[in-house]
């Protein structure tokens, strides 16, 4: 076979593979997909009661906006790590509301630690200190945001429970 034909075949296969991966990411980034397991219905119901779902300006933060990085390699890593959620759903670790709540503290802390490690990367897609008009905020929020920016704090350090109910801390 001529080398140029092989090159065209490899290029075409690569283009199809990239398209397939992109389509997979687009589909699995939808809120409908992410909340399709019954174990996610409890989190979805909580989210629907927050300002991230319904607010005065009509901007809705979807599941992927908060839980999936925009950059390619962090997104791939997040998709791979998310397989554990499917696994635990299938083996029954969190298949009832009671089991879900029993594991909720651990799951929430895992997410909070990841958010701290990434400087609340997904939050900052919409909320960035540099873009905030602090003069438009109420005094207490303005003071807290100014202090947080100066101290290098990240969103999740103050805003736990903003989109989902706070889990109950396990008794010692």
Q: What are the φ and ψ backbone dihedral angles of 75, each rounded to 5 degrees?
A: -65, -45
Per-10-residue mean pLDDT of the chain, 172 residues long, equals 85 94 92 87 92 91 93 92 88 90 93 95 91 93 94 94 90 76
Tokens representing 9 are: 């075949």
103 is annotated as contributing to ligand binding: no
Task: Using a cut of 0.85, tell me whether the model's pTM lies above it.
Answer: no
Separation CA 110–CA 97 (nearest Å): 19
**Crossing angle for the helix pair 3-28 and 72-91, nearest 10 degrees?**
60
66 is annotated as contributing to ligand binding: yes
40 is annotated as contributing to ligand binding: yes
| SS3 assignment, position 121 | coil
Return the domain boundaries, the chain: 3-157
127 is annotated as contributing to ligand binding: yes
Q: Would you state the pLDDT for residue 66? A: 93
Instruction: State the CATH architecture for 3-157.
Output: Orthogonal Bundle (1.10)
Separation CA 74–CA 172 (nearest Å): 35
Tokens representing 35 are: 């909340």
Separation CA 106–CA 112 (nearest Å): 10
Q: Would you state the pLDDT for residue 1? A: 64
CB atoms near residue 96 (< 10 Å): 12
Tokens representing 114 are: 């990841």
132 is annotated as contributing to ligand binding: no
158 is annotated as contributing to ligand binding: yes
Q: Would you state the pLDDT for residue 46? A: 93
Q: Would you state the pLDDT for residue 86? A: 85
Q: Would you state the pLDDT for residue 39? A: 82
145 is annotated as contributing to ligand binding: no
| Helices first, then strands: H and E counts in the chain | 7, 0
Do residues 156 and 120 lie in contact, with contact meaning Cβ atoms separated by under 8 Å?
Answer: yes
Do residues 68 and 102 lie in contact, with contact meaning Cβ atoms separated by under 8 Å?
Answer: no
164 is annotated as contributing to ligand binding: yes
95 is annotated as contributing to ligand binding: no
Q: Would you state the pLDDT for residue 3? A: 85
């Amino acid at each position: 076979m001529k080398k140029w034909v092989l090159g065209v075949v490899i290029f075409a296969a690569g283009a199809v593979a990239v398209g397939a991966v992109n389509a997979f990411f687009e589909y699995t980034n939808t809120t409908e997909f992410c909340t399709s397991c019954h174990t996610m219905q409890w989190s979805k119901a909580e989210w629907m009661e927050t300002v991230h779902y319904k607010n005065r300006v009509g901007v809705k933060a979807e599941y992927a906006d908060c839980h999936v990085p925009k950059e390619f390699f962090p997104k791939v890593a997040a998709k791979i790590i998310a397989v554990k959620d499917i696994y635990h759903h299938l083996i029954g670790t969190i298949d009832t509301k009671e089991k879900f709540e029993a594991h909720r503290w651990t799951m929430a802390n895992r997410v909070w630690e990841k958010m701290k490690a990434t400087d609340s990367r997904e939050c900052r897609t919409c909320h960035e200190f540099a873009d905030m008009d602090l003069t438009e905020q109420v005094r207490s929020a303005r003071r807290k945001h100014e202090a947080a920016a100066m101290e290098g704090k990240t969103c999740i350090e103050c805003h736990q429970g903003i989109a989902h109910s706070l889990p109950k801390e396990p008794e010692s």
